[in-house]
Chains A and B, each alone.
Chain A
Amino acid sequence: MEFTFAMSVGVLTTAGIYLMLRAQTFPMIVGLTLLSYAVNLFLFASGRLTVNGAAIVGSSQHYADPLPQALVLTAIVIGFAMTAFVLILAVRARSDLGNDQVDGRQLPEQRSTLGDALAVKMEQKQSRKSDNGKRKQP
């Protein structure tokens, strides 16, 4: 159990940090969420891992530490509020800055994402259409 638990915390943290290091807002938010899951699991383990333990004294064979559970609950609530805020902020940043880069600048080599490729194609189509229109007029 310890190994599985440690591995899942480790994998979640790794994935979270990797995603956070991407320079786009949406992967960053997903990364933050994964990181907060990892944190919650980690906090939970700080009261030591027990099976079949109740947090109420006397109601089961083993006694589980109730404090980490309270801490995790608080952390979940706070994390939820923060995620909601950062999502709204990301939408706002997308509309204010015109792209989803964290720096607010579109880097030239990153114009290869699907949305951008589509946008470029649309532009080309439109320019071709307008060219055709110009040719027909005279």
Chain B
Amino acid sequence: MLQHLPVLPLLIPLLTGVLLLLPPLSDSLPRQRWMGALSALLQLAVAITLLREVHTQGTLVYAVGEWQPPFGIVLVADRLAALLVLLTAFLLLCVQLFSCADEDQKGRFLHPLLMFQALGIQGAFITGDLFNLFVFFEILLIASYALLIHGGGAQKTLANVHYVALNLAGSALFLFALGIMYGTFGTLNMADMQQRAARIEADDLYLAKAGAMLLLVVFGLKSAMTPLHFWLPRAYAAAPAPVAALFAIMTKVGVYSLWRVHGTIFGADAGALANVAQPWLWPLAWLTLVVGIIATLASQTLRALTANLVIVSVGSLLLMVALDSREATAGGLYYLVHSTLATALMFLLAGLIIRQRGKAEDRFVQARPVSQPILLGTLFFLAALALIGMPPVSGFIGKALMLKAALVGERALIIWPPILVGSLAALIMLSRTGGTLFWRIRGENSDPIRVHPSQQVAVWLLVITLPLMVVFAGTITGYAGLAAEDLRRGLQLPQLAPAPALVLETGGDDNA
């Protein structure tokens, strides 16, 4: 069983998703909830086992169908992939529990779609093949199209039209890039590409560069890099709370792909192709941060505010990708985990606040109080601390690590101000939000709406991780450092033997 460990994070959500669509489960919501929760727990257990295996034994390579690496598709679980799979599985569990309260009654197929979304995200993290990455992108996208519109409504439809159109155009660009890559490299296996990058012939050099830049556009679109980020606030603000929480990790898939492709394949050892995206990544990452900060200050609802904070966090992460050092990658990885959990928590809280606040939803206006001000207020305070990056919870360490990584030469001059101003903007806006939502109140709230027990569990699970990430900061940063080294070294496939010579049987043999 253990030898099949890397493929389990794909098989379990796939099979669960299919089972959820079949008769014994499809006609009963309680059974779907149990099955979904059990499957999420199982995935979490598998992800933890995978992480431990990878940490003790090094990178696990799984050749699907025993086709050898340069020809077949491989799944590669290194420390980075294992950590992100664990993060996804944990997030899926929280989202699954949260949606059991009432969200899954607003439309059909929420549970199977969540499974397929998890399949796409985990697959994107664990694959070692560029075309396979495209396929998993499409799986996570088509699940997200349907999830975004879950429950229906004009607002969601409008956001979805933009989201779908942009991503379909992005997929077309991705395929163009893949065609160029295959035409110039002769392979789409990431480890193989990394070895061949330095040996690209001069004729193909500009084609390969064009392909790399196309991939930058594609991953930029996925991760909401500045000129390509306009879809994000509307889509995330319109999505149902648990879906938005799961989407918190989708932008990180783009950042991860940038690390894998532009950090490793086109990394420092790529000869003439080394760091092709670097000159573009710098200004774009910086601009993303600045635009995110401005948008944060202009937000009108809690959901829009959180969505804009996602852009700010993506900007910081892109800066870490652009910095391209061991410290930057490790710090970025810690911050990535933290910001995913913190934004997911804030999206879930926004869902709870909307439920209790009635018509005013989460707009920053005077309205009736929420029915459980102490519980929601405390949770909001903790989430806000994490998002701002204040000491008792994990945001502080993440930001400190990133600032420390940027402390090289003159680069600190351009990296420090936007990251610090981003924290200030978050501080201003989140204090204003908390003040408005919980203190600027009018009238009484006599609604019996309470936070559902399963929602409580989901939210507290996320809250607990924030201090835990501080308590175990040493362990996590140590692990992140090793993961960064793994990433920078690239995927080393042990079986990557020189291709056996193809014997072309032509002429004589055919006639015989």
Residues of A within 8 A of B (CB): 20, 25, 28, 32, 35-36, 38-40, 42-43, 45-48, 57-58, 61, 63, 67-68, 71, 74-75, 78, 81-82, 85-86, 89-90, 92-93, 96-97, 102-104
A25 to B168, alpha carbons, bound, how many Å? 13
Q: Is the CB of B135 within 8 A of A96?
A: no
Contacts of A39 in B (CB 8 A): 172, 175-176, 179
A45 to B154, alpha carbons, bound, how many Å? 42
B102 interfacial by beta-carbon distance below 8 Å: no
A78 to B135, alpha carbons, bound, how many Å? 8
Residues of B within 8 A of A (CB): 131, 135, 138, 142, 145-146, 149, 152-154, 157-158, 160-162, 164-165, 168-169, 171-172, 175-176, 178-180, 182-183, 188, 502-506, 509-510
A28 to B162, alpha carbons, bound, how many Å? 11
Q: Is the CB of B505 within 8 A of A102?
A: no
A42 to B183, alpha carbons, bound, how many Å? 10
Residue in contact with B504 in the complex, picked from A45, A63, A86, CB distance below 8 Å = A63
Q: Is the CB of A89 within 8 A of B164?
A: yes
Q: Is the CB of A32 within 8 A of B154?
A: no
4 A-B pairs with the lowest CB-CB distances in the bound complex, closest first? A58-B505, A46-B183, A46-B179, A39-B175
Residue in contact with B157 in the complex, picked from A61, A71, A89, CB distance below 8 Å = A89
Residue in contact with A97 in the complex, picked from B146, B157, B162, B504, CB distance below 8 Å = B157
| A–B complex contacts, Cβ < 8 Å, 13 sampled | A46-B183, A47-B183, A63-B502, A71-B131, A78-B135, A81-B142, A82-B142, A89-B160, A89-B164, A92-B149, A92-B157, A96-B152, A96-B153
Contacts of A48 in B (CB 8 A): 183
Main secondary structure of the interface of A (DSSP, over half): helix
Contacts of B152 in A (CB 8 A): 96
Contacts of B164 in A (CB 8 A): 85-86, 89
Rounded to whole Å, the gap between the CB of A14 and the closest CB of chain B is 13
Q: B137: nearest residue on chain A (CB-CB)?
A: A78
Q: Is the CB of B131 within 8 A of A42?
A: no
Q: Is the CB of B176 within 8 A of A42?
A: yes
A93 to B165, alpha carbons, bound, how many Å? 13
Given contacts A20-B169, A38-B172, A58-B509, 8 further A-B contacts (CB under 8 A): A57-B502, A57-B503, A71-B178, A86-B168, A93-B158, A104-B154, A104-B157, A104-B158
Q: Is the CB of B160 within 8 A of A47?
A: no
A81 to B135, alpha carbons, bound, how many Å? 12
A20 to B504, alpha carbons, bound, how many Å? 45
Contacts of A28 in B (CB 8 A): 165
Known: A74-B131, A89-B161. A58 touches B510 (CB 8 A): yes
Rounded to whole Å, the gap between the CB of B137 and the closest CB of chain A is 10
Q: Is the CB of B158 within 8 A of A43?
A: no
Contacts of B145 in A (CB 8 A): 85, 89
